[in-house]
Amino acid sequence: MLPVYPINVFWSAEDEAWVADVPDLTYCSALGDTPHDAVAEVEAAIAAWLEAATSSGRSIPQPSTRMARA
């Protein structure tokens, strides 16, 4: 099972797409036509990021804890 990392999702006017990024994993982000699409794409990117890090012997960061704002 993959670790669960916080994902930020926001609209990028520059890219004209939704962006999902994973702050805990350097350069791990994805674009999508909808927020859902962006998250689905970044979930695949997380798996690829972790696989690449593992195969190259890099350390895997622990997921940070993000508190929801009330």
Spatial separation of the C-alpha atoms in residues 42 and 64, rounded to whole Å: 17
What are the backbone angles phi and psi of residue 35, rounded to the nearest 5°? -55, -40
Q: List the chain domain ranges.
A: 8-55
Ramachandran sector of residue 52 (left: φ over 0; alpha: ψ -120 to 50; beta: rest):
alpha
d(CA 6, CA 20): 10
Intervals of the chain under pLDDT 50? 70
What pTM was computed for the model? 0.86
Q: What pLDDT score was predicted for residue 68?
A: 53
Residues 28, 46 contacting (CB under 8 angstroms): yes
